């Protein structure tokens, strides 16, 4: 018997029920899209609480922090129990949480900063410059390419040499320099007490591997480990999971190999295939009913994915009744006409009573949403973009956090230089000199709180033009620290923007007012935090979709808006109506992959197509422009995506739309 009164039998099918109520041990739920994997995981949490498993013994790993929040909200509806002790979130946020407690064991402090993509790039630029690499007439990899090489190497545990060999043969001649830069990059991060996103995972793993006591501590804590979207875990994440589980704990993972879409970032759907080898006593559950989509949509999706050779055979039957339309394929004359059609149709649906938040427009690449954005704006239809809009990565938001980051982590060179560099008269060179002067101070003077920064910083030599501003900056920094720590996060922002930064913004940005509003919003957001490290981590990790912290976005959610999203970011979600746009060959699948003629990569594109199709509950519209005026060579004719060749044309209905309709 359970205390909550949840009728598990009635709300779950047999396979879900068996998984949800399984005894301690290991379990793999493998099933197609929309079959209730996430639902099973949610009910599993409720069930464990129902069985009086303490919330603090549960670890729930999800692909986004939002997904974990939503699952826990649902659990609360099911069972009135406090879940605040439950650890739920992305791998990055869980690892961050662990590192904030023990980073000193790795030579960092607990106040370490997290580098985002932008910070990484500027650090990389600095390192390339100081390595004085002679690149005349020869192509040296750009900072972001270097960073992807490093990341891929770490995440797939492959040597730099092999990565270059396999993926970047044209950089072979730079192998030594690249390896050297990798070493410098790693030591610079340690020196400046900074971690990038990969480090969060890798260093947490390193820590737990090297410190037996700590490992046991976490293994004793997390009796139940639950993982959603398991098909997209990479080697590091897989190892972390195995380590949390140890010999005694229970592991339940759910996933769908047909939806593995992150191999380009090192994800390995082989983790599903080898699961049984690693957990021989695991029970395997298969769900073969789809609860999400109308049969017409499901039939098309099943047919579309069949063309892939490498997949675990799965049946997926519809449980819902037939709907009122079969998926529509709509060729349109050009991108404008496509946007026009999509927007007009959205307007009609809204007029028919469909909620805007039940509608999504999905695309392969973010830039493909441009025309639709413009068209929606001009018709006053509210929309939200789940990718591309990186609120916390905007320059002025990062400027403000640079002050805070430096005060919290006084070895944070990037933030110090960013802060100093804002002052008129201080260029990269002066900023560098100031940094040198700072690190030349005895460590105790840098670290010892409380610290009157002005006491030391005012002595530094700054260009004449900057001296008044420099003074103001020093006093601003003083304000941020208090006798026993720091001002509250929101107070810190107020001190910064009330002082030196306000002048800077006025002088530097013509949209000063807009930026000021953004900062107001940041301050509003900061009010929810008392701990500065937690606030800063949150800024960096505000992952939204995809466990991809690189895709930070405006957190504020508009409940009443149409969603525009890349397919990657739409994973796990569902809408009544889905538009999939730009289905022209070369746009989806993308040209680069067609040209490589690499079948594995084409199969991954096809899985992405499958993910897109299976987001739709009731209506699905597939559109493409037949002419693309954006091409360099003028207009080019577009052929429909080769994915259309994978299924019988009876499964779709072609609509003819004439421009000016």
Which residues does the annotation place in the binding site for ATP? 31-38
CB of 438 or CB of 579, closer to ligand ATP = 579
Q: Are 85 and 54 in contact (CB under 8 A)?
A: yes
Q: Taking the CA atoms of the chain, what radius of gyration do you get in angstroms?
A: 26
CB of 39 or CB of 223, closer to ligand ATP = 39
Total residues in contact with ligand ATP, by rule CB under 6 A: 18
DSSP state of 251: E
492, two tokens: 């810190």
Q: Are 252 and 226 in contact (CB under 8 A)?
A: yes
From the list 38, 57, 64, 65, which residue makes contact with Mg ion (rule: CB under 5 A)?
38
In the range 570-599, which residues lie near ligand ATP by CB under 6 A?
572, 574
Q: Does 547 bind ligand ATP (CB under 6 A)?
A: no
For residue 28, give the nearest of 347, 263, 269, 275 by alpha carbon: 275
Least separation, in Å, of the C-beta of 37 and Mg ion?
5
For residue 451, give the nearest of 512, 504, 407 by alpha carbon: 407
Beta partners for 283?
Answer: 27
From the list 33, 106, 400, 562, which residue makes contact with ligand ATP (rule: CB under 6 A)?
33
Q: What are phi and psi of 111, to 5 degrees?
A: -95, 20
Q: Are 253 and 276 in contact (CB under 8 A)?
A: no
In the range 264-283, which residues lie near ligand ATP by CB under 6 A?
none
Beta partners for 624?
Answer: 331
CB of 492 or CB of 567, closer to ligand ATP = 567
CB of 9 or CB of 183, closer to ligand ATP = 9
From the list 26, 37, 418, 554, which residue makes contact with ligand ATP (rule: CB under 6 A)?
37
Total residues in contact with Mg ion, by rule CB under 5 A: 3
417, two tokens: 């230089």
CB of 156 or CB of 301, closer to ligand ATP = 301
Extended beta strands in 419-463, E state = none
Binding mask 280-299 for ligand ATP (x = CB under 6 A): -----------xx-------
Q: Does 546 bind ligand ATP (CB under 6 A)?
A: no
Q: Are 430 and 462 in contact (CB under 8 A)?
A: yes
Distances in whole angstroms, Cα of residue 202 to Cα of each of 8, 63, 235, 245, 499: 38, 17, 10, 17, 39
Least separation, in Å, of the C-beta of 616 and ligand ATP?
11
Q: Does 320 bind ligand ATP (CB under 6 A)?
A: no
Q: Does 260 bind ligand ATP (CB under 6 A)?
A: no
Q: Are 263 and 568 in contact (CB under 8 A)?
A: no
In the range 597-626, which residues lie near ligand ATP by CB under 6 A?
614
- Bond into 589 cis (ω within 30): yes
CB of 229 or CB of 375, closer to ligand ATP = 229
Cα separation, 16 vs 27, whole angstroms = 12
Cα separation, 217 vs 213, whole angstroms = 6
From the list 39, 223, 398, 469, which residue makes contact with ligand ATP (rule: CB under 6 A)?
39
CB of 572 or CB of 589, closer to ligand ATP = 572
* 496: number of Cβ within 10 Å: 25
Stretch that binds ligand ATP, among 32-40, 116-124, 329-337, 521-529 (CB under 6 A): 32-40
Stretch that binds Mg ion, among 36-44, 413-421, 440-448, 647-655 (CB under 5 A): 36-44
* 313: number of Cβ within 10 Å: 5
512-526 vs 489-498: helix axis angle to the nearest 10?
160
Q: Does 36 bind ligand ATP (CB under 6 A)?
A: yes
State the residue for tokens 């008269």: 425
175-191 vs 160-167: helix axis angle to the nearest 10?
130
Q: Does 314 bind ligand ATP (CB under 6 A)?
A: no
In the range 533-572, which residues lie near Mg ion by CB under 5 A?
572
Beta partners for 317?
Answer: 289
Question: 26: helix, coil or strand?
Answer: strand
Q: Which residues are annotated as a binding site?
A: 31-38
Residue 291 binds what, of Mg ion, ligand ATP, none (CB under 5 to 8 Å, by partner type)?
ligand ATP
From the list 35, 430, 543, 569, which residue makes contact with ligand ATP (rule: CB under 6 A)?
35
Binding mask 11-30 for ligand ATP (x = CB under 6 A): -xx--x--------------
CB of 35 or CB of 430, closer to ligand ATP = 35
CB of 13 or CB of 357, closer to ligand ATP = 13
Q: Does 343 bind ligand ATP (CB under 6 A)?
A: no
Stretch that binds ligand ATP, among 35-43, 58-66, 68-76, 86-94 (CB under 6 A): 35-43
Cα separation, 394 vs 404, whole angstroms = 16
CB of 281 or CB of 321, closer to ligand ATP = 321
DSSP state of 640: B
Interface positions with Mg ion (CB under 5 A) = 37-38, 572
Interface positions with ligand ATP (CB under 6 A) = 12-13, 16, 31, 33-39, 256, 259, 291-292, 572, 574, 614
């Amino acid at each position: 018997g359970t205390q909550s009164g949840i009728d598990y039998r009635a709300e779950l099918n047999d396979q879900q029920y068996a998984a949800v109520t399984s005894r301690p041990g290991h379990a793999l739920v493998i099933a197609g899209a929309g079959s209730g994997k996430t639902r099973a995981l949610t009910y599993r949490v409720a069930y464990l609480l129902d069985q009086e498993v303490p919330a603090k013994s549960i670890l729930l790993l999800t692909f986004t922090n939002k997904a974990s929040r939503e699952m826990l909200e649902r659990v609360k509806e099911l069972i009135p129990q406090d879940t605040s002790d439950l650890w739920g979130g992305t791998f990055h946020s869980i690892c961050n949480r662990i590192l904030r407690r023990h980073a000193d064991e790795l030579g960092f402090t607990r106040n370490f900063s997290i580098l985002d993509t932008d910070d990484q790039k500027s650090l990389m630029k600095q390192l390339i410059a100081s390595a004085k690499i002679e690149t005349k007439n020869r192509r040296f990899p750009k900072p972001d390419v270097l960073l992807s090489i490093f990341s891929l190497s770490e995440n797939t545990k492959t040597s730099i040499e092999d990565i270059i060999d396999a993926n970047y043969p044209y950089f072979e001649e730079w192998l030594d320099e690249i390896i050297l830069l990798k070493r410098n990059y790693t030591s610079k991060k340690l020196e400046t007490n900074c971690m990038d996103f990969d480090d969060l995972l890798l260093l947490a793993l390193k820590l737990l591997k090297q410190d037996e006591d700590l490992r046991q501590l976490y293994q004793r804590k997390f009796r139940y480990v639950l993982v959603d979207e398991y098909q997209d875990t990479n080697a590091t994440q897989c190892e972390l999971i195995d380590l949390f589980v140890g010999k005694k704990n229970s592991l339940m993972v759910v996933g769908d190999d047909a939806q593995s879409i992150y191999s380009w970032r090192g994800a390995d759907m082989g983790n599903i295939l080898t699961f049984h080898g690693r957990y021989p006593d695991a029970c395997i559950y298969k769900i073969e009913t789809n609860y999400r989509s109308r049969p017409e949509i499901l039939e098309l999706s099943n047919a579309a994915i069949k063309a892939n050779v490498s997949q675990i055979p799965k049946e997926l039957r519809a449980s819902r009744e037939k709907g009122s339309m079969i998926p529509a394929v709509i060729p349109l004359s050009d991108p404008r006409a496509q946007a026009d059609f999509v927007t007009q149709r959205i307007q009609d649906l809204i007029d028919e009573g469909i909620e805007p938040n039940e509608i999504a427009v999905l695309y392969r690449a973010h830039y493909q949403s441009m025309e639709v954005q413009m068209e929606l704006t001009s018709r006053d239809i509210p929309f939200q973009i789940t990718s591309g809009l990186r609120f916390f990565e905007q320059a002025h938001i990062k400027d403000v956090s640079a002050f805070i980051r430096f005060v919290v982590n006084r070895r944070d060179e990037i933030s110090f230089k960013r802060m100093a560099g804002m002052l008129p008269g201080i260029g990269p060179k002066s900023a560098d000199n100031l940094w040198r002067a700072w690190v030349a101070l005895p460590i105790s003077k840098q670290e010892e709180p409380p610290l009157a920064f002005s006491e030391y910083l005012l002595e530094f030599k700054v260009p004449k033009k900057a001296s008044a501003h420099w003074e103001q900056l020093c006093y601003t920094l003083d304000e941020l620290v208090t006798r026993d720590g720091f001002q509250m996060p929101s107070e810190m922002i107020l001190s910064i923007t009330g002082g030196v930064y306000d002048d800077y913004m006025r002088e530097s940005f013509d949209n000063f007012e807009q930026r000021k509003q953004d900062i107001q919003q940041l301050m509003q957001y900061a009010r929810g935090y008392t701990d500065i490290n937690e606030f800063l981590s949150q800024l960096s990790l505000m992952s939204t979709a995809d466990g991809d912290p690189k895709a930070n976005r405006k957190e504020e959610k508009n409940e009443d808006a149409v969603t525009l999203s890349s397919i990657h970011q739409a994973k796990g979600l569902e809408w009544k109506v889905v538009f999939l746009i730009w289905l022209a060959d070369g746009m989806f699948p993308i040209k680069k992959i067609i040209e490589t003629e690499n079948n594995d990569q084409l199969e991954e594109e096809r899985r992405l197509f499958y993910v897109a199709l299976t987001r739709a509950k009731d209506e699905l519209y597939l559109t493409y422009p037949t002419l693309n005026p954006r091409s360099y060579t003028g207009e080019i004719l577009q052929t429909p995506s080769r994915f259309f060749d994978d299924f019988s044309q009876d499964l779709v209905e072609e609509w003819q739309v004439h421009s000016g309709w």
